[in-house]
Amino acid sequence: MILPILHYPDKRLRKIAEEVEVFDDSISVLVDDMFETMYQAPGIGLAATQINQHKRIIVIDISEQQNEPICLINPVITEKIGKTESEEGCLSVPDYVESIKRFESIKVDAMNQKGENFEMDASDLLSICIQHEVDHLNGILFVDHLSKLKQGRLIKKTKKSGKEL
Ligand code: NI
């Protein structure tokens, strides 16, 4: 099922997501719906926060063919190495792209849909995407990393274009 995506500056994007403790069918259904919603958008990452489900779940697929789905539940970034900067966008901030500074490589501890732990090394786009999505789970949007001046312009633009708040 395709779910509606919340748009900036919706306050629900600021909620801090809670850890998943029970890995039942409802989590599998939610993960499937998140992948469907992300692919349809189309996007390369989606956090549960963005579809108003405040659970620590992110889905990612950075492959060209959209056939390499990655699901991270209760993700924790345990190592951050190096620096990088690249253009980012977000399904919750439509039609807006800005250059954002991130760590180049990270190590992540997470769980799969069955509640099994795994560790992952990520660099480049995958690393950036995970950092962006983990931010969502903490109520942080990529535009929060911008200067106040740029954030001010963004708010005006959003209001002018009459997007749903
Ligand atoms: Ni986003």
**Joined tokens for residue 8:** 């900036």
Active-site hit among 87, 119, 133, 164: 133
What pLDDT does residue 54 have? 98
Do the beta carbons of residue 98 and residue 87 sit within 8 Å? yes
Do the beta carbons of residue 158 and residue 141 sit within 8 Å? no
How many other CB atoms are found less than 10 A from the CB of residue 116?
10
CATH code for position 61: 3.90.45.10
Do the beta carbons of residue 94 and residue 158 sit within 8 Å? no
**Does residue 96 lie in a domain region?**
yes
Bond before 4 cis per omega within 30 degrees:
no
> Distance from the CA of 136 to the center of ligand 1, in angstroms?
7
What pLDDT does residue 161 have? 59
> Distance from the CA of 158 to the center of ligand 1, in angstroms?
16
Tens-level pLDDT at each residue, the chain (165 residues): 999 999 999 999 999 999 999 999 999 999 999 999 999 999 999 999 999 999 999 999 999 999 999 999 999 999 999 999 999 999 999 989 999 999 999 999 999 999 999 999 999 999 999 999 999 999 999 999 999 888 888 877 776 655 444
Give me the half-sphere count of Cα atoms (radius 13 Å) on the Cβ side of residue 140: 11
- Could you confirm whether 85 is annotated as catalytic? no
**Does residue 2 lie in a domain region?**
no
**What predicted TM-score, i.e. pTM, was given to this entire model?**
0.93
**Does residue 4 lie in a domain region?**
no
Number of domains in the chain: 1
CA–CA dist 103, 131 (Å, integer)? 8
**Does residue 6 lie in a domain region?**
no
| CA-based torsion, 157, 160, 163, 165: positive or negative | positive
DSSP string, 65-100: TS---EEEEEEEEEEEEEEEEEEEEETTEEEEEEEE
> Distance from the CA of 57 to the center of ligand 1, in angstroms?
13
What pLDDT does residue 157 have? 74
Give the range of the structural domain holding residue 76, as residue numbers without chain letter.
Answer: 11-161
